[in-house]
Structure 1
Amino acid sequence: MTSTENAVRLWRVPHYPTWFVSDSAKELAAGLLHFAVPLIALMVTGSPAQAGVIGAVGVVTSLLFTLWGGVLADRHRRPALMLLGALLGVALAATFAVFDRLSALSFGALLVLNVLFNARDGLFDVAGEAALKQVVPDEAMGRAQAANQGRGAAIQLAGGPLGGALLAVGGWLVALAAAGIYLLSAATAVMLRHSNRLAGTPSPDADTAVAAMRRNPVSEIGEGFSWLFSRIDLRGVLWVAMLANLGFNSAITTVIYSLQQAGHSPIIIGTVSAVLGAVMLVGALVAPLLVPRLSGGAIVIASLLMCTLGTIVLPAVRAVPAIMIVVGAAVFLVPALNSALMGYFMVAVPTELLGRANSAFRVFSMGAMPLAPLIAGLGLSWAGRTGTLVLCAVLTAVAGLLAVLNRGLRSLPAESGWAAHADAFSLSRRDGAGMHDA
């Protein structure tokens, strides 16, 4: 164990536990609402098509507003944005509860409310993620991201049963529970405002050039994308993350669709998803042990190799227990992969650009996710289960190949070396620009 690991203990970092509670509460509250809306839409409209429209419009809204959320996160104090977002969540959840109690949730009302929920997510979630960089030092960022992975897996594992139990009483109860959880997020966001590291805006308007740029939000959004794509090491993260997510999520969706076509009950299919969440949770608990000790490049390549092998094996596996074993083994290192990639990303991006770069990263990586059900659905119709899973394996294999070929990712060190690694690529970029200008 290195001296750096001894010096920085994540849960003893001032204000980090407060940030974690605030951000986790926000994620759980939003998860409950997003769980309830499509199910209530099906109950109210009786039409899968109309429920699908509500869901699709929500996803597009979230992606679009995420870009503006990045601008807000770089313009203003992030704890203040976290507080405002949580309070808006309370108001929207309470409105949802009232509409449900009055039996006023029509297709139009659900569509509008879901747009507002997703607009809130897009505008304010980036601020919480960006604030993490101001709370946690670089040498502990990998473990912070691993904690986020564990939190996400736990919410995925428990959120469904909790939302289902509340929804059995009524949608209004889900909304009231979400409102209460948003209040917790707001209360802890208030506590964050006393942090010295979060006291000012991420990038104050120190000169007229910056001030001029700040008057044009579109230019600010573009700056986040251009800076991100100008970095060789971060370009690699973008493509690897997009292809790996698309390939493996398409494989999981294909397996779920094929189980449904084979006549398996929703309980069996739900059990497969629960096993996936449980393995991800265990992997997230292991990730903090791996990220500080192993090179990030080795973690990324090993995880992508396991995902690819799992997807290759899946066509030969039909029994549900065997599917669970293969899928579980394939995803075990995914939390460590996400911790390494996102942790390095957070370290490499300057604080004043983190909101916009983060939103650009999210839009880029999430933009391909709607293709997963499309690949699964059309693939099963045209190529069958085996052909579709082979395509998914090719996508994850290409992601692994890109990781191997990208020098920045391949040579990514363990957590304590990320800052120096990012600085080296930043210096080489500036030197390259200088030679080009000369």
Structure 2
Amino acid sequence: MVALGGAYWRLWLSSALSNLADGVFKVALPLVAVGLTRSPTLIAGLTLAVRLPWLLFALPAGALADRLDRRHAMLGANFARAGLLAVLALTVSLDIASIWVLYAIAFAVGITETIYDTCAQSIVPQLVGRDQLSRANGRLFAAELTANEFLGPPLAGLLVAAGALASFVTPAGLWLAAIGALFLVRGSFRPSGEGPPRDRPSSLRADIAEGLRFLFRDRVLRTISVMVGVFNFADTAVFAVLVLHAVGPGSAMGLSEQAFGLMLTGVAVGGLLGSLAGEWAERVLGRAWTIGLGFVASGVMLGTPAVSTDPYVVGAAFVLGGAGLMVANVVMVSLRQRLTPDHLLGRVNSVHRLLAWGTMPLGAAAGGLLAQWLGLPATFATMAALTLLLLLGVVRLRQSVAGRRNCAA
């Protein structure tokens, strides 16, 4: 097995530190906001402020990732995030922080995140060989999941308990440390000069349109994006209303808030295991079947609350679903990196994320409406069935992948 190389591991360290900062910030933000307002709408809106830039700026971020040196763009994004948190910390220390300051910082951090994450996923094929992509992505996803889901939230809780200032200074410091690690990744990471020659520089709008055309004309990439979008719709529909099924003495499961949170960590535990098993599953089962089994496991995860109220059974299903989903994700991301020319990778990644994540608000709304009309168990069963229907897409994907030379590595 060929080593991934020092440059990759420095990128891995930078990514781990960045994601830890991200995990701390996103959990600390609403915890600090509670001290400024008790409005549920304003508190919930902070999450929207962080996520909204993905809908507004994902496509321009992808175009920039295909124009700029991706390492430089990542450095700039982390410098900006550290600076924004320094400003927020200053407002806290001067006792002039308000909920609207938090909104402004959250939105600005969200914009920088679109640039950083798009470039981070696009730079990987420039650091490792095509046959190493699944392993490289799996290790990166493991670091991201560990930092965001396991280390970030409890650290944020401790920092907020120590004071709002500490909860913002710490992620700023982590982003600066990530910059230091990324500085050690040497070389130029501008996209390769592939593609047809042009008489004059293209506009940002034309670049975005080129990325859209490439993804929609490629049957494999189009199928993957649609499948992920459908799954995210179903997944969000279930988890948007799961708390009503699980928490409180009048609920079906009757769990406490703490027990519910512990049960949800099963998804993260499974995801961590799956991120490390992606390369092995791809090698043993093949790409299409690995993706298919991932969706089957995810369907089991979404449907289990419809047939069982035992938290251990549901928790085990969450571990299974988290593992299957992450294994499939490793394979799909690596496949997209193999099939997309380097000069288009940033744009194709951003188009995929827009399609895949754009269904989440719709899923949340659908989950609420279905739960009200049909009841919670029927909602879970419906979304599980919708996920299992993605096997039809896997069959189509298997036919499309067969014979593609650039899928062979």
What TM-score results when the alignment is normalised by the length of structure 2? 0.92
**One-letter amino acid of the counterpart of residue 260, structure 1:** V
SS at match of 1:180: helix
Corresponding residue to 1:388 among 379, 383, 397: 379
By how many angstroms is 1:206 displaced?
9.5
**CA distance in structure 2 between the partners assigned to 1:125 and 1:404 by the alignment:** 30
By how many angstroms is 1:91 displaced?
0.6
Other-structure match for 1:9: 3
Deviations 1:35-57 (A, max 9, x none): 22223223311101112233223
Corresponding residue to 2:190 among 201, 210, 217: 201
**One-letter amino acid of the counterpart of residue 182, structure 2:** A
**One-letter amino acid of the counterpart of residue 164, structure 1:** G
**CA distance in structure 1 between the partners assigned to 2:373 and 2:400 by the alignment:** 36
**One-letter amino acid of the counterpart of residue 176, structure 2:** L
Report 1:388-427 matches (<5 A): 388-408=379-399, 411=402, 420-421=406-407
Report 1:63-74 matches (<5 A): 63-74=55-66
By how many angstroms is 1:265 displaced?
2.1
2:65–2:73 contact (8 Å) kept in structure 1: yes
Deviations 1:183-224 (A, max 9, x none): 1111122122x23xxx252145998726331xx111111111
Deviations 1:266-288 (A, max 9, x none): 21111112222122212223223
By how many angstroms is 1:14 displaced?
4.1
Other-structure match for 2:156: 163
**CA distance in structure 2 between the partners assigned to 1:144 and 1:245 by the alignment:** 24
**CA distance in structure 1 between the partners assigned to 2:82 and 2:37 by the alignment:** 26
**One-letter amino acid of the counterpart of residue 17, structure 1:** W
**One-letter amino acid of the counterpart of residue 198, structure 2:** A
Q: Does residue 317 in structure 1 map to residue 311 in structure 2?
A: no
Q: 1:206 to 1:346 in 2, by over 3 A?
A: closer
Q: 1:267 to 1:312 in 2, by over 3 A?
A: closer
Which runs of 5 or more structure 2 residues have no equivalent in the other structure? Answer: none
Q: 1:410 to 1:314 in 2, by over 3 A?
A: farther
Other-structure match for 1:239: 226
> When the two structures are aligned, how many residues end up with a matched partner?
404
2:12–2:143 contact (8 Å) kept in structure 1: no
**One-letter amino acid of the counterpart of residue 16, structure 1:** Y
Q: 1:339 to 1:34 in 2, by over 3 A?
A: same
2:54–2:354 contact (8 Å) kept in structure 1: no
Which runs of 5 or more structure 1 residues have no equivalent in the other structure? Answer: 1-5, 413-417, 424-438
SS at match of 2:176: helix
Corresponding residue to 1:253 among 237, 240, 253: 240
1:130–1:355 contact (8 Å) kept in structure 2: yes
Report 1:2-401 matches (<5 A): 6=1, 8-10=2-4, 13-155=5-147, 156-192=149-185, 194-195=186-187, 199=188, 201-204=190-193, 209=198, 211-213=200-202, 216-260=203-247, 262=251, 264-401=255-392
Deviations 1:237-287 (A, max 9, x none): 111111122223432333233213525322111111222212221222322
Deviations 1:388-417 (A, max 9, x none): 1122112212222211233446749xxxxx
**CA distance in structure 1 between the partners assigned to 2:77 and 2:400 by the alignment:** 34
2:304–2:314 contact (8 Å) kept in structure 1: no
By how many angstroms is 1:9 displaced?
2.7
**One-letter amino acid of the counterpart of residue 49, structure 1:** T
**CA distance in structure 1 between the partners assigned to 2:310 and 2:35 by the alignment:** 33
1:82–1:127 contact (8 Å) kept in structure 2: yes
**CA distance in structure 2 between the partners assigned to 1:207 and 1:392 by the alignment:** 43
What TM-score results when the alignment is normalised by the length of structure 1? 0.86
Q: 1:143 to 1:206 in 2, by over 3 A?
A: closer
